[in-house]
Amino acid sequence: MNNLYDVWRTRFFHYINEVQKYMKYVFTGHMAIVFVFIIGAGGYQYSEWLKTNPTNFPAILVTAIVVGLLLAFSSPTTLIREPDQVYLLPLETKLPIYLKKALNWTFWSQILVVVIPFIVALPMLKQLGQVSTSTIGLTFIFVVLMKWWNVQVDFAFRWANRGHAVWGDRLVRALISITVITSVLHMNVWMMLIVAIPVVYYGFTWMKQKTLYPFPYEHFVKLEQNRMLRLYRFANYFTDVPHIHGSIKRRQWLDALYKMVPFNKENTQAYLVFRTFVRTDDHFYLWVRLTAISALGAFFINMPVAVVIFLAALAFATAIQLKQALISATDFSMYMLYPLPAAYRKLAVHKMVRVANIVQAVIVLICGIGNPLFYVGPIIMLVVGELTLRMTK
């Protein structure tokens, strides 16, 4: 018994240290400022929307759908590793001791994902949904209980089905969770009693089913590997992560863009840099994500000062990360064989980043039409991007 507790404790501390090691490069002072402005602008927009929104807005249904969908995503964090398929077999009868710790951590680490959106929805529920304070308090308790239920059922379903048909289970649990939240917010006692039947039946069914099969190490090992890989990929946008090796995709639908680079010796580096950007997942999807976030900010934020600061921060992030990613590659590349001056590489990277910033600014300009001073944000993005290229190494 003590050995499994020690195994969990050791792995848990290693996991926390690993997360902290990379997250300190993500949540820096600059990002904190960006988050403050985003939260401030979002809160202002939310309060203004509450003042102008009609009273027939389905606040209860919207809250139930959002919270219910978030509840359905309750993948367990087991910290199971590949060697456990061999070394934990003699202790498999005591494995529930380890898994209980894992599911407790899963619950507490994910509870804020549903609690924060519910808290954000409180003004809407009170003002538009006419929900009483006591009902909101009771709903909060049910949200916490449904989170525990979703964690337990998700784990049991994965065990019994060895990881197959997970999305079907999520859909069922999402529908049940939405119905539970809706019935509690409406204080419909009969609906609450009726929906309790599938909650109990579905939960106990999979709890019983999992006892009929051995623990599926392969699925949970893969689940842990994918979860850590997502963490490393996210952190890799802000710092170099040795665990990550970017994948390459052809993206044939973008081949026509290569014709934009004139065919001559001086443009060899520009052509290679362009192909590197388009075909490397890390570089290409980094630009896509930051552009999408910028476009959404320009579309939803109506405060000129807030949107300018928001877009400037994202323009800086785009320019600095693309520049460092394209210049600092240490792997062998074909351009090393060409008798071209080393400065051509840097010039080509700067040109590529400028093109990416211009396209990003145009997309933001289109998405921001209709907001006051919508043209200021894209101009600031171009200025910040150019200054970043000139003033950084």
Same-domain check for residues 230 and 320: no
pLDDT of residue 1: 45
Of 193, 208, 234, which closes a domain? 234
* In a domain? residue 244: no
Same-domain check for residues 327 and 378: yes
* In a domain? residue 63: yes
* Position with higher pLDDT, 371 vs 215: 215
Residue 75: pLDDT above 70? yes
Averaged pLDDT, 92-117: 92
Same-domain check for residues 335 and 207: no
Same-domain check for residues 228 and 152: yes
Residue 213: pLDDT above 70? yes
* In a domain? residue 303: yes
* In a domain? residue 68: yes
Of 204, 234, 264, which closes a domain? 234
Same-domain check for residues 159 and 261: no
Q: The tokens of 131 are what? A: 């929900």
pLDDT of residue 114: 95
* In a domain? residue 245: no
Same-domain check for residues 57 and 141: yes
Same-domain check for residues 115 and 184: yes
Lowest-confidence range among 203-212, 290-299, 323-332? 323-332
How many folded domains does the chain comprise? 2
Average pLDDT over all residues of the chain: 85
Averaged pLDDT, 72-89: 89
Long-range CB contact pairs, 8-15, < 8 A, 24+: 8/79, 8/98, 8/101, 8/102, 11/79, 11/81, 12/79, 12/101, 12/105, 15/79
pLDDT of residue 283: 78
pLDDT of residue 67: 96
* In a domain? residue 247: no
* In a domain? residue 246: no
pLDDT of residue 76: 94
Q: Closest by alpha carbon to 293, among 311, 316, 275?
A: 311
Averaged pLDDT, 244-258: 71
Averaged pLDDT, 95-118: 93
Torsion of CA 15, 20, 25, 31, to 10 degrees: 120
Same-domain check for residues 170 and 256: no
Residue 2: pLDDT above 60? no
Residue 28: pLDDT above 70? no
pLDDT in tens, 173-204: 999 999 999 999 999 999 999 999 999 999 99
Which phi and psi (to 5°) does residue 183 adopt?
-65, -35
Lowest-confidence range among 108-122, 307-321, 331-345? 331-345
pLDDT of residue 54: 72
pLDDT of residue 128: 87
58 alpha carbon, distance to own chain's centre: 27
Of 234, 265, 280, which closes a domain? 234
Residue 313: pLDDT above 70? yes
Same-domain check for residues 46 and 92: yes
Same-domain check for residues 163 and 261: no
* Parent domain of 211: 2-234
Q: Are 295 and 361 in contact (CB under 8 A)?
A: no
DSSP 82: T
